[in-house]
A = this chain, B = another copy of it.
Amino acid sequence: MNIVQRILKGEKRSIARLITLIEEQSTEATDILKQIYRFTGNAVTIGITGPPGAGKSSIVNQLAKKFRDKNKKVGIIAIDPTSPFTGGAILGDRIRMQDLTLDEDIYIRSMGSRGALGGLSRASYDAVKVLDAAGMDYIIIETVGVGQSEVDIIKLADIVALVLIPGMGDEVQAIKAGVMEIGDIFLVNKSDRDGSDRLVTEIEMNLDLNPNKNVFKPPIIKTVAVTGEGIGELDETINQVYKQLMDNGMLFNKRKERIEQELQELIREIHLKKIITAFSAKIETITDKILKKEIDPYSAANTILEK
């Protein structure tokens, strides 16, 4: 059996190896991805995001267990900011999820986030495809959500659950424009705390401002992830929302947008390598002129491109 067949069979070790090849931007990875691409599109991908400390990992943990109770195969991709000072993802090796890794039908992968084009943001797109082709029924993508790029990464999910917690002040108002809009489901976690009802009201008010509210209005669920409260409702809601998004065509549009975006990134990446090589001699000559202040860098870039 070659690696393609082993991945399609869902063999964990081959999945891990391919994702590593993807992270290393190996050409071998692209060859394999080309072959498995037509086997993708069957998994339901769920993005979980929210501010640090909102309890996202606990929710992922509980949700994965819920899916396993129904005998579904689950893939988890945890996207953490990369720390150059520790060499690894900043939150370590997801110790809290260790009890899941013993399950043969759960695959967990921690990936560093990197904003740079051709970097890990593309790798995470590809990793989702690998898990999809490997037969996962659900793929959960968790991001710690500290950078805009990590919020962007979440767009690779069919359904995005945005996790908020009460007691942080005017939470919803503080959230940056464009972030509320990515939520298909809202979770008010740690809802046993004071202020959770107010937070629900705040979210509702915010959602009322959305021009799409008549097509689709995201449900709000109260959870207490550590005890598992509300996770059953989350599971049901995910399946309902998935059907709704499928029926009203929003899922198709999401997937189409995702492919367009991916294609743009691929084109950029391939093209960039070519142009920088093509222009390298010119760049060297003009750099000297910039150093001598004979030309400024902005005019220089335009000069090179106009030729």
- A interface with B by C-beta (< 8 Å): 30, 33-34, 37-38, 41, 50-51, 81-87, 90, 113-117, 119, 145-151, 174-176, 178-179, 252, 255-256, 259-260, 262-264, 266-268, 270-272, 275-276, 279, 283-284, 286-288, 290-291, 293, 296-302, 304-305
Contacts and interface: CB of A to CB of B under 8 A. Distances in A.
A263 B295 CA distance: 12
B255 A279 contact: no
Given A116-B117, A267-B283, 11 more contacts: A37-B297, A41-B293, A82-B147, A82-B148, A83-B147, A84-B175, A84-B179, A114-B115, A114-B147, A115-B147, A271-B271
B260 A287 contact: yes
A291 B268 CA distance: 20
Given A33-B298, A114-B147, A146-B83, A272 B268 contact: yes
The 9 closest A-B pairs by CB, nearest first: A115-B115, A266-B301, A37-B296, A51-B85, A38-B293, A87-B176, A84-B176, A84-B151, A34-B296
A43 to B, nearest CB: 15
A146 B115 CA distance: 13
Contacts of A51: 83, 85-86
A286 B271 contact: no
Instruction: Name A's interface SS.
Output: helix
Given A267-B275, A268-B272, A86 B283 contact: no
B298 A266 contact: yes
Contacts of A286: 263
Nearest to A289: B259
Nearest to A152: B116
